[in-house]
Structure 1
Amino acid sequence: MTPSQITLVQDSFAKVAPISEQAATIFYNRLFEVAPQVRVMFPDDLTEQRKKLMATLNVVVNGLSDLPAILPAASALAKRHVDYGARPEHYPVVGSALLWTLEKGLGAAWNPEVAAAWTAAYGTLSSYMIAEAYGKAQAAE
């Protein structure tokens, strides 16, 4: 990721943060719409899960300027996701739902540059997490 992409991600996330509860609801609704098979991995009451999602995104987004500092937490999260039943093929679906949510949440502020920056950020972290959880070969697929 370039420094300008990091800035775009951080600035755009700052615009979503005030509507974080709504954004998290939109995200999970979209995720379960496009991948209903993953619904069983989540509790019936998503209140705490939505808070965890937004808190995690906040840490990651704010840590993009110093990626090595957030990688240990990303590794631990990836390994916990294995225990929940997450598979490498779930990562692109989650990424798609995240980008869709950001597009809806940002409205006119969502543009090709912001989309490319978020795509780069998610791609970087999801590849790392897949490699940590399942090995380097899975991350390359």
Structure 2
Amino acid sequence: MTPQQIALVQDSWKKIVPIRDMAALLFYARLFELDPSLRPHFRKPLDQQGRKLMGMLGTAVGCLGRMGEITATAGDLGRRHAAYGVKDEHYDSVAEAFLWTLEQALDTDFTPELREAWTVAYTTLANVMKDAANDPAFSQAVA
């Protein structure tokens, strides 16, 4: 990510934090609308799951530019998601729902440049998670 993209994501995140509970509920509603097959993967109440999601996102946003600080955590998260049955293709639905949520929450502040910055940030994190989940050593341990 470029320094400008990092700044865009971090600045926009400050606008999401005050409405994070609402944003999380919007996200999950959109995610299940896009891919109803994902609903059974979420056993905890969505308000609890939303708090976890927003906490993880806040940590990730804070570490942009210093991905080494979150790579191990993201890898562990990716492996846990794989154990829950999450597949690589599910990350596309999550990306679409997440970007839609940002667009709803930020309205006119969600510019094409900001969309691109968030896309890069999400893709970077998702790739770390998928790589960890697809690690042959992990696959053998789960099998």
TM range (shorter): over 0.9
**2:88 alignment partner, SS class:** coil
Q: Which residue of 2 aligns with 1:84?
A: 84
State the alpha-carbon separation in 2 of the partners of residues 44 and 13 from structure 1: 25
Q: Which runs of 5+ in 2 are unaligned?
A: 137-143
State the alpha-carbon separation in 1 of the partners of residues 6 and 112 from structure 2: 14
Q: Report % sequence identity.
A: 45
State the alpha-carbon separation in 2 of the partners of residues 113 and 74 from structure 1: 25
Q: Which runs of 5+ in 1 are unaligned?
A: 137-141
Cα shift at 1:70: 0.7
Q: Which residue of 2 aligns with 1:18?
A: 18
Q: Which residue of 1 aligns with 2:99?
A: 99
Where has structure 1 moved over 2 Å in runs of 4 or more?
A: none
Cα shift at 1:44: 5.8
Note the alpha carbon deviations across 1:45-92, whole angstroms, 9 max, x for none: 212101000000000011112111110100010001011110001011
Cα shift at 1:135: 3.7
**1:119 alignment partner, SS class:** helix
Between 1:123-132 and 1:99-108, the stretch displaced more is 123-132
Return the TM-score normalized by structure 1: 0.93
State the alpha-carbon separation in 1 of the partners of residues 5 and 44 from structure 2: 36
Between 1:89-98 and 1:39-48, the stretch displaced more is 39-48
State the alpha-carbon separation in 1 of the partners of residues 73 and 39 from structure 2: 24
1:89 counterpart letter in structure 2: E
Q: Which residue of 1 aligns with 2:38?
A: 38
Aligned length: 136
Q: Which residue of 2 aligns with 1:3?
A: 3
Cα shift at 1:125: 1.2
State the alpha-carbon separation in 1 of the partners of residues 43 and 124 from structure 2: 28
State the alpha-carbon separation in 2 of the partners of residues 119 and 47 from structure 1: 25
1:18 counterpart letter in structure 2: P
**2:87 alignment partner, SS class:** coil
State the alpha-carbon separation in 2 of the partners of residues 33 and 95 from structure 1: 13
Between 1:122-131 and 1:21-30, the stretch displaced more is 122-131
Q: Which residue of 1 aligns with 2:63?
A: 63
2:108 counterpart letter in structure 1: A
State the alpha-carbon separation in 2 of the partners of residues 34 and 69 from structure 1: 32
State the alpha-carbon separation in 2 of the partners of residues 71 and 57 from structure 1: 13
Alpha-carbon RMSD across the aligned residues, in angstroms, is 1.2
Q: Which residue of 2 aligns with 1:133?
A: 133
